[in-house]
Structure 1
């Protein structure tokens, strides 16, 4: 007997070798191979493939070893089994790294696409974005669909009869029981009848979705019609279906308060870990969403899909009440959406062939980019010898607890980034009542055109603590000038900046789109126009008004935007979305150290952190990233630590993992470093350094 074949009680042979069990997922076959601890991972895979003895030759280049018990990939082929701590009791899988993932795009369409399950999520999103034609993938990430039962909120029924809802609910329950455990609530599971091929080949085929009404594309196997099919996918993402699938619409979960809005953000995946490491299995469904609201280098010639998906995410956020707006604003958004739908059915000019007015769209998108980023390319001063001023009598109010006093009148002077208040105009050469620096302040609006109310709300950072000041203007023209000045001052810009006039004009256009024409044009007959109002306004407004009334108001408001082209209408929709007070703020429920134990709300925006009231959402304090020195995670106590110039902030997060909070802060810092003058190669190493959570 060969002594090398003698098996010891510990399972090893006399020569130190032992048997390792590996399951080959494509073949649904378990193999045992003889290994030693000094055999490297590459040698293990080679030995396994040689032992399969298949009749036909296969390409195993996309395969790697997955260790499910340790929840990790063994991708370092030069490392030995001993270095990886793999012993005889380990259960390993030899499986493709690229697997099919069902992705719900921002426009609610479902796409089956092969994604690298072994790379970190950041790399997987980059790969996916390249496939579907979206530039700057660093702005997006994967989000798990929130579970309605866990959130304890009602899903939208869209007016269906109770018996229909009960029938669909039962069917959904049965399908969920039969589906894999990785399926997510609210989005139907997908179990293909045929296992995809292991190689990373692709084709796009339009296929019927669940119940025959889902727009669905698949990208996973080669075919001669790839170019035509891929163009179909691109066109579908460029101009989305006006009505999404029933499953997608009914899978929407409407948050009822800020706590529920914060809970939804617990679903963001960790960008530094792979899909498999986070429990995502083949054929599971994830949502692809714009995670960071700092859209960069928007170009209508290159970013048709990207701009449309931003527009669609904005639209569904409003319809699902994830972001709040006034009734007049909701009707304005509905009118713009109608114009987008009408223009999408008409031939559009070739973006590569400049036409009259195309430069205006390019300029508008550049202005949009500047306002969304908060940092723009230096534009210079219009006249360095003169310092513009605004001088007006305004009504003002300082909100305080237990106060019943209303607005008072005062004389205000706006110069540089400073707002100075006097008791009256004749006192403007004397001592002012107060002078406030608006650099870094929080600016929001309170506008009601039917009631002639044009308000500006300022939350100003002061040594004694944040203070609120509300200003009330007398006219649209006055409001546009002062609001533009406040917005620029919050970014440390003055009215001498060349973007000031564009900001004023943008605010005036925003108000103009909300203004009702009050027309009695007999050609507008709401009886003959079929508007499904639930596709245009959120449920909150449908509860207040009858559908015919809402339809009439949408048609009325549409007269203000009916001459806009497709890209212009989408741009104005995004611009109006960006002007909303809640725009671009991601919420988390936290507990601050060295304060009361009650839960509080923190909002993370592209340029600041905001401490907020968890019930009302009112801002209480804010910290600008420009004054931040460092930030990291204390992993022992699960706290985020942020060191500012004048104070340190420490808090734990109860609505999500603290890594998610840290990643938002680091992600925005990373995005703020982008520049048109710099090399546009995406620096993955820098992203992970800023978002990793380590000092």
Structure 2
């Protein structure tokens, strides 16, 4: 039948659940909601409330039901899909286990992560995000070198194959697979293609979505979670995530192990765009994504409420160390191995009551109030407020004899002994104590410097590497300097002072004594015992499960014995204490929390590294990682992206920088910087309702 003069036209809509394509007669002023009502059969009892229209050619959801077809640009040559917004996504947690989760593919990824973490019992979901799984071949070249061949749109039996829109995270969209463990499928022609919009397939082993748990989770030997709908509730499920099963060998074999700083930088290619939906980024039903802690600033980490969060954080730290994503010394590696061994032993025994339910009793409520008041008092006054009250008018100062070295080319001069004085973020060196009233031989401004520990307890080496910004020309590289301490007590005081000074904090800061104490505790855990405290045959332990391949090859047969000796320092820790010590030691490593990207500065041909941390960004040398320049966020005035040429510009108080990112889309760098600024605005004194609008304003890049 031909309609003439009524301004109607045919619209093709593919209903994915029924695998049926319908042709509707519509007008341009018809609302999206009206189109959806035409698709629903009143006699069919199926619940269509979770369905929405997806436009494959534009790679967008048509979720604004009041908008008309003309307003959104839908015309007669369009094919739409009527498909569920919630789809099954296979999620790999930080402990490497897989869960089949029912996730909303139509909302922004940030919102999907928030909902997912709520179901998993993980507080502060803003610290996590989803990323696409990698293979080792993805570390061999930069993102900018991947083929950018346009893939033509093809339609067949309701399938539409196309590339995501240009403004999405278009890194290697994942092909759909049936029950795969999450590796990326690579086409035969060597170019990466996008997942097809297809009819959902049920996996070989169907599991109940976690958003509506009605049973308990059971873990098979292959690392997947299957669901038993006969008993229990979400409480049992979240408690299960507080302990982790051992991953299967095939899951471990798929882990990516970077071999250089360059490859570590290329690992950050897979982060999803938090401002776009999962569907817009090439992900389809039953595809695999990895849930990971993205921002390395962990707010209010409380063992009382964060058992799941702490366990998953520990697991991410553990695998980062075992896969050599972050460097550590041999003594530190043995300390981490000892803590991991203690955690494994404590996981097999009954743990003391953590007191989580104590707040539900009358006495527990009073205790919580008292504890909160005490914590607030410490926060406001500092941990040593009473002892420091009488020194409020005195400028704190640190003095001692130590050794100093400023490396220079073509010289064999070694360390020289000076009398050091530190006050007001400045380090003054005198030849002797008697010269303190004279001008110093060397004066160093520590504000904004980079501090790197160099410690070897066995040989009595306690050194501090300082990379100090130049006083005059800001374009000059940082000046490298070394301080050698006599013992660990002296070292703990001075490295704590240097770390605070790099952040612009003096010795009067209340966190100084805490920092000194943390350094001493970390050193004590690295001291080997004369003999193992636990009588276990070293031959029954597989050192490769506790040490990275580099340290395992170096220690060889002595690895298990050395690990058991280090275990004597942590043998009395409970399960939660050991996990917290592991996380704290991880946070103390020099490279902790620095996310790397390969970049080129405007006007330069040389590739360099950009390190993004919670309070600063760093320009670094590509091969060695040496710091060339550091910019603190508190000196940042604005940052934006030229999306046309994929170039990022950041304005600082002392000038502007402009660079292009080679190892990932520039949106990833933009989101890291904005995300860390968002994290720094969190405070216990403010309402802790998550401000998603502010997060997207800082990270979206389109404001």
Given the two structures, how large is their TM-score scaled by the length of structure 1? 0.86
1:179 aligns with: 177
Greater shift, 311-320 or 455-464, is seen at 455-464
User: Separation in 2 of the partners of 1:21 and 1:183?
Assistant: 35
Match of 1:147 among 107, 131, 135: 135
1:576-634: CA deviation from partner (whole Å, max 9, x where unpaired): 1111111000000000013x311110100000001111111111111000110110111
1:546 aligns with: 556
User: Separation in 1 of the partners of 2:57 and 2:307?
Assistant: 44
Match of 1:192 among 198, 203, 211: 203
CA change 1:177–1:692 in 2 (3 A) is: closer
User: Separation in 2 of the partners of 1:179 and 1:568?
Assistant: 40
1:514-542: CA deviation from partner (whole Å, max 9, x where unpaired): 11112377x73535x62121110001112
Instruction: Output aligned runs, 1:56-75, within 5 Å.
Output: 57-75=45-63
Question: Does the 8 Å CA contact 2:179/2:286 hold for their aligned counterparts?
Answer: no
User: Separation in 2 of the partners of 1:310 and 1:496?
Assistant: 32
Deviation at 1:6, TM superposition (A): 2.5
User: Separation in 2 of the partners of 1:76 and 1:15?
Assistant: 26
1:600 aligns with: 608
User: Separation in 1 of the partners of 2:291 and 2:54?
Assistant: 25
Question: Does the 8 Å CA contact 1:214/1:246 hold for their aligned counterparts?
Answer: no
Greater shift, 491-500 or 611-620, is seen at 491-500
1:578 aligns with: 587
Question: Does the 8 Å CA contact 1:110/1:217 hold for their aligned counterparts?
Answer: no
Deviation at 1:436, TM superposition (A): 2.4
User: Separation in 2 of the partners of 1:31 and 1:182?
Assistant: 32
Match of 2:91 among 91, 95, 103: 103
In structure 1, the gaps of 5 or more residues are 8-12, 154-175, 371-375
Match of 1:268 among 268, 271, 278: 271
Instruction: Output aligned runs, 1:641-680, within 5 Å.
Output: 641-680=649-688
Question: Does the 8 Å CA contact 1:421/1:432 hold for their aligned counterparts?
Answer: yes
1:419-440: CA deviation from partner (whole Å, max 9, x where unpaired): 1111222211101123323233
CA change 1:239–1:182 in 2 (3 A) is: closer
Question: Does the 8 Å CA contact 1:445/1:455 hold for their aligned counterparts?
Answer: yes
2:225 aligns with: 216
User: Separation in 1 of the partners of 2:102 and 2:185?
Assistant: 19
User: Separation in 2 of the partners of 1:181 and 1:571?
Assistant: 35
1:97-156: CA deviation from partner (whole Å, max 9, x where unpaired): 011111111111111111110001100000000000001000000111112233349xxx
The answer on 1:336 being equivalent to 2:339 is yes
The answer on 1:304 being equivalent to 2:313 is no
Question: Does the 8 Å CA contact 1:640/1:651 hold for their aligned counterparts?
Answer: yes
Greater shift, 597-606 or 28-37, is seen at 28-37
User: Separation in 2 of the partners of 1:234 and 1:198?
Assistant: 14
CA change 1:301–1:196 in 2 (3 A) is: closer
Match of 2:286 among 283, 307, 325: 283
CA change 1:643–1:426 in 2 (3 A) is: same
The answer on 1:478 being equivalent to 2:490 is yes
Question: Does the 8 Å CA contact 2:449/2:468 hold for their aligned counterparts?
Answer: yes
Question: Does the 8 Å CA contact 1:147/1:184 hold for their aligned counterparts?
Answer: no
Match of 2:355 among 338, 347, 352: 352
Match of 1:392 among 392, 395, 400: 400
Match of 1:246 among 246, 249, 260: 249
Greater shift, 536-545 or 491-500, is seen at 491-500
1:28 aligns with: 19
| SS of residue matched to 1:544 | helix
CA change 1:255–1:37 in 2 (3 A) is: same
Instruction: Output aligned runs, 1:148-547, within 5 Å.
Output: 148-152=136-140, 179=177, 184-185=182-183, 192-193=203-204, 201-206=212-217, 209=220, 212-217=221-226, 225=231, 228-241=232-245, 243-352=246-355, 379=382, 382-383=388-389, 384-464=392-472, 465=476, 466-519=478-531, 524-527=535-538, 530-547=540-557
CA change 1:234–1:337 in 2 (3 A) is: same
Deviation at 1:460, TM superposition (A): 2.1
User: Separation in 1 of the partners of 2:181 and 2:556?
Assistant: 38
CA change 1:473–1:278 in 2 (3 A) is: same
The answer on 1:589 being equivalent to 2:598 is yes
User: Separation in 1 of the partners of 2:84 and 2:574?
Assistant: 46
| SS of residue matched to 2:452 | strand
1:379-407: CA deviation from partner (whole Å, max 9, x where unpaired): 38533133332211111111344443322
User: Separation in 1 of the partners of 2:248 and 2:664?
Assistant: 30
1:161 aligns with: none
Deviation at 1:461, TM superposition (A): 2.5
| SS of residue matched to 2:667 | helix
Deviation at 1:59, TM superposition (A): 1.4
User: Separation in 2 of the partners of 1:199 and 1:217?
Assistant: 11
Question: Does the 8 Å CA contact 1:121/1:274 hold for their aligned counterparts?
Answer: yes
Question: Does the 8 Å CA contact 1:517/1:556 hold for their aligned counterparts?
Answer: yes
Given the two structures, how large is their TM-score scaled by the length of structure 2? 0.85
| SS of residue matched to 1:648 | strand
Across the aligned residues of Structure 1 and Structure 2, the Cα RMSD in angstroms comes to: 2.9
1:655-683: CA deviation from partner (whole Å, max 9, x where unpaired): 00000000000000001001111111111
CA change 1:486–1:256 in 2 (3 A) is: same
1:208-254: CA deviation from partner (whole Å, max 9, x where unpaired): 65xx53241459xxx563xx25334322310112x212232111010
Deviation at 1:48, TM superposition (A): 0.9
Greater shift, 122-131 or 408-417, is seen at 408-417
CA change 1:377–1:126 in 2 (3 A) is: farther
CA change 1:258–1:378 in 2 (3 A) is: farther
Deviation at 1:636, TM superposition (A): 1.9
The answer on 1:555 being equivalent to 2:564 is yes
| SS of residue matched to 1:488 | helix
| SS of residue matched to 2:241 | helix
| SS of residue matched to 1:543 | helix
Question: Does the 8 Å CA contact 1:438/1:490 hold for their aligned counterparts?
Answer: yes
User: Separation in 1 of the partners of 2:277 and 2:175?
Assistant: 26
Question: Does the 8 Å CA contact 2:89/2:101 hold for their aligned counterparts?
Answer: yes
1:171 aligns with: none
Greater shift, 634-643 or 463-472, is seen at 463-472
